Amino acid sequence: MEATSSTATHDLEKTQSKGSNVSNSSSTDVQQPYSEPKQGLMRTFFNTFKELEPSKEDADLLKNPDLSEAERREIALKNTPLQRGLKARHLQMIALGGSIGTGLFIGSGSALRTGGAASLSICWTIVGLLAFSTIHALGELTTAYPVSGAFSAHSTKFIEPSFGFAIGWNYAIFWMVVLPAEIIAASLTLQFWNDTINPVAWVTIFYVFVMSINLFGVRGYGEAEYIFTMIKMVAIIGFLILGIVLVCGGGPTHGFVGGMYYRNPGPFTHGFKGVCTVFITAAYSLGGSELIGVTGAEAANPRKTLPSAIKQVFWRIMLFYLGSLTLISLLVSSEDKRLLGTSSADAEASPFVIAINNGGVKVLPSIMNAVILISVLSVGNSAVFGCSRTLASLAAQGLAPKCFNYIDRMGRPIYGIAANGVVGLLCYCVASKHESTVFAWLMSLCGLATVLTWFSICVSHIRFRLAMKVQGRSLDELAFKSQAGFWGSVFCSVILVLVLCLQFWVSLYPIGAEKPDVTNFFQNYLGAFILLGFYVARKLYVRKLWEFTPLNEIKLDAGRSAVDIDLMHQEIAEERALLASKGFLYRTYKFWC
């Protein structure tokens, strides 16, 4: 108390001395009281980029020389100063439609052409089941361990650091490449209305737009995705209603469609190989679903908001993907020439636009094209968010340069955003005549990123459950349990390995090729070798062949969001009691959502 009083007195005397100097400096002017100069808006803005220092407690913890490398990683991840600014409504919208983009609206066209009408329902159903089980496994892990980077951090904790390093960098590179690809897709989408304007102008506008959103921090990302997803949801629900009307012959042409395209040209175009080829397109379209786990570290209350958001993934798969693609398979022929667009981003190659045009409906094709444009920008926005947070997580674990863990006062991993922005400048390749070739090889770097990321999530969940069992821990400790359970993750792991094997086959021997096609193989399978390269490179760097933590030595309480199990059970019991007091319809809604 005496020290505090002395300091305060000294500060007061110093202030009074300053005030005296000010008053004596001018004998003719009216004396004004001394006040600290106010900061202008620009200075205030630039100050937000200063690093947010960790708390003294966190800094003291990390200075402890007795900590192991794994324990340091846990502390650094748990205390990454990201802002918890995402509310329940943000998470729900991100879960429902945050990743709906070119994979669904445009990529489904190439899938229809390659595999046939029936392949859409078959492949998206199987991949949808994989996504459902994987996201539930991720939800269980993220609710228990809401750390920066989610699955890359979980891979490091439950599998080994080298595997977490490889998965994290593979995922970061995936989003780095997606950003310029989506910006180019947005610029080409506008050619649906006007193809006389140089696409470089649109690329510049969209690049500045996407990067600006992420400079507003996590709240900017959340609000943007909330608006984007609302528009996408309304558009897809409207398309579902319109599609049913058109199939039944209620459109302007009054022609009953039914299942005529299943009879001619038939349900499959290239047999079993065509169906196998569609699998990766389906996985790409559902890629980004795992972003709901990345948002866990920036959710206001992960234990309450994440489970509800995770459950809504089921409805996105069933309603938005399977529902709309089933109607597409009925309304558009797999032999339609318009599906053979010169660019994968060509809006006129979208089966959604083709279906509406076939029905003779005016104006709506332009509206759907506008929705495609918004969806493309939404995925670009998610790309910057996903990449920067993954890089921050890797840096916190010591698996990336420390600069990427620089979090500013607004909670932005600014160096990660900057790195994504630099790679995003590749969008100006749109001005080159070799643009399609450049991006074919860029996308090859991460063509299997979704499959490999889902595999890492499932394996992490399997080892988490096994560690719980070996250490005699009860599943009642978990605030959220995967509805697919342990065996759901086992099933997913097996099927994903099978998908990788089938993709190896169709990449080496593509449709119509009698001999191995080396170029096609590396354009479709290079991502697996990139992952293997990262894994081996770190092994050689650390010179540790075996880094797997035995199940009985995995520190299950380190990094947990709710270590006080009794308090958590009390909160859950109170929530269940409150739910039991509600009506039947509300209880049913909360069960599914």
Would you say residue 89 lies in a domain?
A: yes
d(CA 296, CA 154): 13
- pTM value > 0.85: no
d(CA 256, CA 97): 31
Q: What phi-psi label fits residue 141: left (phi over 0), alpha (psi between -120 and 50 degrees) or beta? A: alpha
The DSSP symbol for 317 reads: I
In terms of domains, do 361 and 384 share one? Answer: yes
Q: Digits of tens for pLDDT over the chain (593 positions)? A: 444 444 444 443 444 444 444 344 443 444 444 444 556 666 766 666 676 666 666 566 666 666 666 566 655 655 565 656 667 677 767 766 666 777 788 888 888 988 999 999 899 999 888 988 998 898 888 888 877 667 788 898 899 989 999 999 998 898 888 888 888 888 878 877 777 888 889 899 999 999 998 888 777 888 888 888 888 888 889 999 999 999 988 877 767 888 888 988 889 988 899 898 888 888 878 877 787 777 766 666 667 777 777 777 777 777 788 889 999 999 999 888 888 654 444 556 788 888 888 888 888 888 888 888 888 888 888 888 888 888 888 888 888 888 888 888 777 888 999 999 999 998 888 888 777 777 777 777 767 888 999 999 999 999 999 999 999 988 888 888 888 889 999 999 999 999 999 989 998 998 888 888 888 888 888 888 989 999 999 999 988 888 888 899 888 887 776 566 777 778 778 878 888 888 888 777 776 66
> Which is nearest to 69 in space by CA: 445, 547, 529?
547
d(CA 138, CA 576): 23
Contacts of 391 (CB under 8 A, 6+ apart): 172, 400, 404, 413, 415, 416, 419
Would you say residue 24 lies in a domain?
A: no
Question: How many domains does the chain contain in total?
Answer: 2
**In Å, how far are 196, 318, 364, 577 from 368, measured between CA atoms?**
21, 21, 6, 45
Q: Which residues pair with 408 in a beta bridge?
A: 51
Contacts of 395 (CB under 8 A, 6+ apart): 401, 402, 403, 404, 405
- Cα 414–174–188 angle (5° rounding)? 95
Q: Which residues pair with 407 in a beta bridge?
A: 413
Residue with tokens 């929705």: 371
The SS3 call for residue 69 is helix
In terms of domains, do 123 and 151 share one? Answer: yes
- CATH number, domain of 374, equals 1.20.1740.10
* Cα first-last separation, the chain: 54
In terms of domains, do 577 and 492 share one? Answer: no
Would you say residue 193 lies in a domain?
A: yes
Would you say residue 57 lies in a domain?
A: no
d(CA 287, CA 507): 20
Q: Torsions phi, psi of 289, nearest 5?
A: -60, -30
In terms of domains, do 276 and 397 share one? Answer: yes
Q: Torsions phi, psi of 260, nearest 5?
A: -65, -30
In terms of domains, do 164 and 135 share one? Answer: yes
Contacts of 313 (CB under 8 A, 6+ apart): 95, 131, 132, 135, 136, 289, 292
Would you say residue 36 lies in a domain?
A: no
**In Å, how far are 190, 191, 451 from 464, measured between CA atoms?**
47, 49, 20
In terms of domains, do 482 and 570 share one? Answer: no
Is residue 349 within 8 Å of 132, Cβ to Cβ? Answer: no
Length of the chain: 593
The domain containing residue 205 runs over which residues?
79-562
In terms of domains, do 403 and 538 share one? Answer: yes
In terms of domains, do 593 and 500 share one? Answer: no
Would you say residue 47 lies in a domain?
A: no
Would you say residue 62 lies in a domain?
A: no
In terms of domains, do 590 and 444 share one? Answer: no
In terms of domains, do 551 and 590 share one? Answer: no
In terms of domains, do 233 and 219 share one? Answer: yes
In terms of domains, do 576 and 558 share one? Answer: no
Would you say residue 63 lies in a domain?
A: no
